[in-house]
């Protein structure tokens, strides 16, 4: 009998989605004239992409503003939970593309040249949001006194948290889903991030048997390559070439397959999400296949196949690691995001020499020292350290413990939760920030627009977020 793994997959028939009164209209992207630099060193402008929906807006209702993430395209506001919230709250739903991403390129195709990319700072990103809100308040009748709720996920949740903390008079409240504000590099090159540990624990809790079989699959691969049986590995994993007996090669393969398996947890969504993963309920599929499989290397091959959808590769070119990275997460605009790592987001995931989650291999593909050297060489930028980021942007644990009106949404199936605020102290202040933990939820899954078949846990979290916002809008005063 095929084993059953206890998770959200087996309760989909019981799910009741949040319903919209009518289907949202199609997206009509527009552009907004934005300053290249808000601090006086470049007075030119560029066109920043946005979307807006005002059909539910009532004068004085909230502006529900989705901050574009590190993506190759802007999520339309009606593809986010904010559109449904706008209907519930009498607000408008908007989204603004992050500068230097997608179509919002200050210098066109030359935006990433060193002389041009220097305007990609967190200060300018936050000021973009302030300018956009000021424009909305003067452009939309009845919005001059509207309170602004910002929302985003992952790196975007770092931004939404910083915007609420640094511009509280503009941004009344924030929803920060999967906010990696505790995973920055310290001055001694260590990190407080716990993504690998969190991932392993999530797998073990779901299925000890599956986790052990996955770990064994890596051991079998290691042993075969070290014994000179690369041809066997090539055939089992559908590799384009046979991997030689070399520890660096093993490290590359570990990174590829460990990342793929980890992302089946992180991207475990109730629906397929092109750009992230083209299949629903990937974590359940990964666990069940691991338990049922009698061939260890088949487990690794299956993990990568989940990201190929209906267009499988003729073979896996493991020597072209960047192309595999794109396969595993094509939505991320990597060159721009790499610069942000150098400039103001020194997040440590995958660079600290931590043993891979399942491969148990301490050999790191990339050390933080090499990241620093690359940042200096490529952009003449030295990455910030944790203490500088926390202090400059007011997002240290102490700052967030006393923060107000931020919903930190953490997910059981999201490794980024290992870098997010785990809790805030209890208080009788109804305006205090909140931390929500959701069982069975994937990476920032609560921010997607409601759909039929959504996990009941995610539906309930969205409803909690809405009720918290109702409370804050009614009872909390502006800063």
The yes-or-no verdict on residue 446 having pLDDT over 80 is yes
Q: Are residues 233 and 314 in the same domain?
A: yes
Q: Please give the span between the terminal C-alpha atoms of the chain, in angstroms, as a whole number.
A: 59
Return the beta strands (E) in 378-430 as ranges: 406-411
Does residue 228 lie in a domain region?
Answer: yes
Q: How many domains does the chain have?
A: 2
Q: Which residues make beta-bridge pairs with 410? A: 437
Q: Do residues 65 and 129 touch, judged by C-beta distance below 8 A? A: yes
Q: Are residues 99 and 154 in the same domain?
A: yes
pLDDT of residue 349: 62
The yes-or-no verdict on residue 192 having pLDDT over 80 is no
pLDDT of residue 18: 55
> To the nearest whole percent, how much of the chain has pLDDT over 70?
91
Long-range CB pairs of 395-400, under 8 A, 24+ apart, other chains included: 395/158, 395/161, 395/162, 395/165, 395/181, 397/182, 397/421, 399/165, 400/161, 400/165, 400/181, 400/424, 400/433
3-state SS of 232-266 is HHHHHHCECCCCCCCHHHHHHHHHHHHHHHHHHHH
Q: Are residues 103 and 162 in the same domain?
A: yes
Does residue 190 lie in a domain region?
Answer: no
Q: Are residues 29 and 111 in the same domain?
A: yes
pLDDT of residue 321: 86
Average pLDDT, the chain: 91
Question: Once rounded to an integer, what is the mean pLDDT over residues 150-177?
Answer: 98
How would residue 172 be classed by pLDDT, with cut points 50, 70 and 90?
very high
pLDDT of residue 368: 77
Q: Do residues 111 and 41 touch, judged by C-beta distance below 8 A? A: no
Q: Are residues 219 and 104 in the same domain?
A: no
Query: Which tokens is 217 given?
Result: 């699959």
pLDDT of residue 163: 98
Which helix (H) or strand (E) segment holds residue 135: the answer is helix 122-139
- Supply the CATH number for residue 452's domain: 3.40.50.1820
Distance between CA 165 and CA 42 in Å, rounded?
Answer: 26
Helices (H), 309-352: 321-328, 334-343
pLDDT of residue 347: 86
Q: Are residues 358 and 406 in the same domain?
A: no
List all residues 6 or more positions away from 391 whose beta carbon is below 8 Å from its beta carbon: none
Q: Are residues 111 and 254 in the same domain?
A: no
The yes-or-no verdict on residue 467 having pLDDT over 80 is yes
281-302 confidence digits (pLDDT tens): 999 999 999 999 999 999 999 9
Question: Once rounded to an integer, what is the mean pLDDT over residues 237-249?
Answer: 96
Does residue 32 lie in a domain region?
Answer: yes
- Supply the CATH number for residue 372's domain: 1.20.120.980
pLDDT of residue 186: 83
Q: Are residues 116 and 224 in the same domain?
A: no
Query: Which tokens is 114 given?
Result: 């060193």
- Closest to 87 (Cα-Cα) out of 471, 449, 452: 449
List all residues 6 or more positions away from 346 whose beta carbon is below 8 Å from its beta carbon: 184, 185, 383, 384, 385, 386, 389
Q: Are residues 374 and 416 in the same domain?
A: no
Structural domain span for residue 323: 195-379
Does residue 386 lie in a domain region?
Answer: no
Of 379, 408, 433, the residue at which a domain comes to its end is: 379
Q: Are residues 28 and 70 in the same domain?
A: yes
The yes-or-no verdict on residue 4 having pLDDT over 60 is no
DSSP-assigned letter for residue 318: T
41-96 confidence digits (pLDDT tens): 999 999 999 999 999 999 999 999 999 999 999 999 999 999 999 999 999 999 99
Q: Do residues 318 and 256 touch, judged by C-beta distance below 8 A? A: yes
Question: Once rounded to an integer, what is the mean pLDDT over residues 209-237?
Answer: 97
Does residue 384 lie in a domain region?
Answer: no
Q: Do residues 9 and 440 touch, judged by C-beta distance below 8 A? A: no
The tally of CA atoms less than 13 A away on the side-chain side of residue 390 is: 19
Q: Are residues 140 and 14 in the same domain?
A: yes
pLDDT of residue 356: 64
94-103 confidence digits (pLDDT tens): 999 999 999 9
pLDDT of residue 17: 46
Q: Which residues make beta-bridge pairs with 201? A: none
How would residue 363 be classed by pLDDT, with cut points 50, 70 and 90?
low
pLDDT of residue 19: 55
Does residue 299 lie in a domain region?
Answer: yes
Of 349, 379, 409, the residue at which a domain comes to its end is: 379
Give the strands of the sheet with 434-438, arranged side by side. 30-35, 45-53, 92-96, 63-67, 148-153, 173-177, 406-411, 434-438
Most confident of 120-134, 189-203, 413-427: 120-134
pLDDT of residue 469: 98
Q: Are residues 221 and 74 in the same domain?
A: no
Does residue 239 lie in a domain region?
Answer: yes
Distance between CA 210 and CA 336 in Å, rounded?
Answer: 37
pLDDT of residue 352: 41
pTM of the model: 0.93
Helices (H), 140-176: 155-166
Which helix (H) or strand (E) segment holds residue 34: the answer is strand 30-35
Does residue 390 lie in a domain region?
Answer: no
Of 319, 346, 379, the residue at which a domain comes to its end is: 379
List all residues 6 or more positions away from 82 whose beta carbon is below 8 Å from its beta carbon: 64, 65, 66, 93, 94, 95, 149, 151
List all residues 6 or more positions away from 296 whose beta carbon is below 8 Å from its beta carbon: 213, 216, 217, 219, 220, 221
Instruction: Identify the three-state secondary structure at position 204.
Output: helix
The yes-or-no verdict on residue 458 having pLDDT over 60 is yes
pLDDT of residue 304: 96
């Amino acid at each position: 009998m095929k084993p059953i793994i206890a998770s959200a997959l087996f309760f989909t028939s019981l799910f009741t989605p949040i319903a919209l009164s009518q289907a949202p209209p199609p997206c009509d992207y527009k552009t907004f004239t934005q300053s290249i630099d808000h601090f006086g060193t470049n007075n030119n402008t560029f066109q920043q992409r946005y979307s807006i929906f005002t059909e539910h807006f009532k004068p004085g209702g909230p502006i529900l503003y989705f901050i574009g993430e590190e993506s190759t395209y802007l999520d339309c506001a009606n593809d986010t939970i904010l559109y449904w919230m706008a209907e519930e709250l009498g607000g408008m739903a908007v989204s603004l593309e992050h500068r230097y991403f997608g179509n919002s390129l200050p210098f066109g195709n030359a935006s990433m040249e060193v002389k041009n990319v220097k305007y990609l700072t967190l200060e300018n990103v936050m000021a973009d949001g302030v300018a956009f809100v000021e424009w909305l308040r003067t452009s939309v009748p009845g919005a001059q006194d509207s309170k602004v709720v910002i929302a985003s996920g992952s790196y975007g949740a770092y931004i939404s948290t910083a915007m609420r903390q640094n511009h509280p008079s503009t941004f009344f409240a924030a929803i920060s889903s999967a906010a990696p504000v505790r995973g920055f590099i310290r001055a001694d090159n260590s990190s407080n991030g716990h993504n690998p540990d969190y991932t392993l624990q999530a797998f073990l809790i779901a299925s000890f048997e599956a986790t052990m079989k996955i770990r064994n699959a890596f051991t079998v691969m290691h042993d075969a390559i070290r014994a000179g049986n690369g041809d066997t590995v090539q055939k089992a994993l559908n590799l384009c070439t046979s991997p030689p007996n070399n520890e660096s090669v093993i490290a590359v393969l570990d990174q590829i397959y460990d990342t793929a398996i980890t992302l089946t947890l992180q991207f475990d969504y109730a629906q397929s999400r092109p750009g992230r993963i083209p299949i629903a309920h990937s974590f359940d599929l990964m666990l069940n296949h691991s338990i049922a499989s009698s061939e260890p290397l088949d487990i690794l091959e299956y993990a990568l196949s989940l990201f190929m959808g209906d267009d499988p590769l003729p073979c896996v070119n493991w020597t072209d690691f960047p192309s595999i990275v794109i396969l595993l997460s094509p939505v991320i605009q990597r060159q721009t995001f790499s610069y942000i790592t150098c400039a103001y987001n020194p997040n440590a995931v995958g660079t600290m020499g931590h043993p891979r989650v399942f491969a148990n291999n301490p050999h790191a593909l990339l050390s933080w020292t090499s990241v620093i050297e690359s940042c200096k060489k490529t952009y003449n930028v030295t990455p910030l350290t944790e203490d500088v980021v926390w202090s400059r942007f007011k997002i240290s644990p102490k700052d967030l413990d006393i923060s107000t009106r931020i919903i930190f949404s953490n997910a059981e199936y999201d490794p980024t939760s290992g870098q997010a605020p785990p809790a805030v102290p209890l208080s009788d202040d109804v305006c205090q920030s909140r931390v929500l933990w959701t069982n069975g939820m994937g990476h920032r899954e609560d921010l997607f627009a409601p759909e039929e078949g959504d996990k009941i846990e995610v539906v309930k979290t969205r409803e909690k977020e809405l009720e918290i916002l109702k409370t804050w809008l009614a009872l909390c005063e502006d800063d």
